[in-house]
Amino acid sequence: MSKTDLNPTTNNMANILIIDDDKDICLLLSRFLIKNGFEVNITNTGKAAIEYVSNNKPDIVLCDFRLEDMTGKDILVKIKELHPQVPVIIMTGYSDVRMAVTIMKLGAYDYVTKPLLPEEILLTLKRALETKDEVKEEKEPTTASTEEPKSESKSEAKTSKKNKGKYIFGNSAAFKVILDQINLVAPTNYSVIIYGESGSGKESIASEIHNHSKRHNQPFIAIDCGAMSKELAASELFGHEKGAFTGALNQKVGSFERANGGTIFLDEIGNLPYDIQVMLLRVVQERKMRRVGGTKDIDLDVRIIVASNERLSEAAKKGQFREDLYHRFNEFSIDLPPLKNRVEDIKLFAEFFLNKTNKELSKNVEGFSDEVLRVFNLYNWPGNLRELNNVVKRATLLTSGSHVEVSSLPFEITHFEKLNFGEPTPDAASNTVTQQYAVAPKKPIEISEFGMKQASIDAEFEMIVEALKKCNYNKSKAAVLLNIDRKTLYNKMKQYKEFNESI
């Protein structure tokens, strides 16, 4: 990569750093983004990317999940250490959704799946820039000002109000129990632990508790503890005084001060460094805190809601989480079931995301075909609601008719059982939902005018599946193994949806 490729932008257009070892994708993506008004820099290795972000600060990073020399996870961690506020968007295949979900816990803004769709990329970049601008607006007054944090409560209260209406609740029996729990605990000042998989809506549940509490007109501050390094966590949570450490050019008001009078939500609390847990324990016990480098105690009146994807009691037994801190938080707990255990809610959420996407794209897609809903109910959704949202957005972009059809869904979802994705499907005898929506076994091929054609399609399909498995579902590598180009592979996948009715 030449030095000119890595020069930072000198104008006001958003600067996008693309990190991908597929040079063809980089070229196409770069041309598209430049055409849409972005400044673009490209690196093809993780090492080159780290070197670039060490000397420059891009506005957004688009990073492939799998590189030859580094993983997207390693690159993300390094970028977040250098530039915590820079949104990082991971590019991945659907086979990597589970790992993409893990990366979200480390601070990635979002993920997009390959093959990349231009409109989807633009939508995601637009949201990332808007989110970044909102964070900047919130943080700028606090870094230059020494005013008391109460002066920020109005703007932060607006943040809380923005959260209203962004989430719907399902009709399943499990969710009705959760609604009852929210109504029960919301009026109290109890600390709450919310357990649930990544992408299952833990922050929305916390926001709902806040919105139904006596603090609903006060700030609601959400912090992702998994996205903070040990060095930055204390400053982010508790703030710092000017000159407290190298680079502390101004006083900073931390998240707890900004949440004073309201509610603070600490997501993925189990990832918080142990040293910071000690500092947090004092806040919970005494309702006082001190900025990093400060000498004055600050009184706090904050309700604390935390979330974790693993049981904190088990983490405490392993010595990964302070037991005394766990007991302080464990005044009330809510277990949020994964989407795969709420099949009856999938249609409701899918329609909700469809309505949102219709507004964003100015489209009028009316709904989903019966076959799409059947596929949705079969899939195990490792990324939960976040993944469902991405799938619906992507399918809506591809839909030209009145309803989303199976042809608009990703290959790996429509062929979920064939590819043995995720966890094995439970036995039909123990799962009425699986029994209801089970895929019928493939029928023997009949001798007919279509027999040879069908046999050819089936054999080709099996060969492609085997190639995908050998290449860990990397389509570019599978295409090389099959001695066809990437575009041909995608066309073949589409062909199976159109011709192989038994799949």
111/101 Cα distance (integer angstroms): 9
pLDDT reading at 278 higher than 80: yes
CA atoms within 13 A on the CB side of 241: 11
Q: Of the spans 154-163, 184-193, 275-284, which averages the highest pLDDT?
A: 184-193
Going by their DSSP bridges, the two strands 192-195 and 263-267 should be labelled as unpaired
Q: How many CB atoms lie within 10 A of CB 134?
A: 12
pLDDT reading at 328 higher than 90: yes
Q: Outline where 247-383 has alpha helix (H).
A: 255-258, 274-286, 312-317, 323-329, 343-361, 370-378
281/164 Cα distance (integer angstroms): 30
Question: Which has the minimum average pLDDT: 7-11, 113-117, 283-287, 385-389?
Answer: 7-11
Beta strand residue intervals within 135-236, DSSP E: 192-195, 220-224
Going by their DSSP bridges, the two strands 288-289 and 298-299 should be labelled as antiparallel
Q: Helices 153-163 and 118-144 sit at what angle, rounded to 10 degrees?
A: 160
87/80 Cα distance (integer angstroms): 9
CA atoms within 13 A on the CB side of 195: 12
pLDDT digits (tens, 9 = 90+) for 117-144: 777 888 888 888 877 655 554 444 433 3
Alpha carbon separation from 56 to 2, 52, 73, 270, 302 (Å, rounded): 16, 6, 20, 32, 37
Tokens of 279: 């500092």
495/454 Cα distance (integer angstroms): 12
Q: Outline where 173-331 has alpha helix (H).
A: 173-185, 202-211, 230-238, 255-258, 274-286, 312-317, 323-329
pLDDT digits (tens, 9 = 90+) for 165-216: 456 777 788 888 898 999 999 999 999 999 998 888 899 999 999 999 999 9
Q: What is the pTM of this model?
A: 0.60
pLDDT band at residue 308 under the 50/70/90 scheme: very high
391/385 Cα distance (integer angstroms): 10
Consecutive H or E run containing 268: none
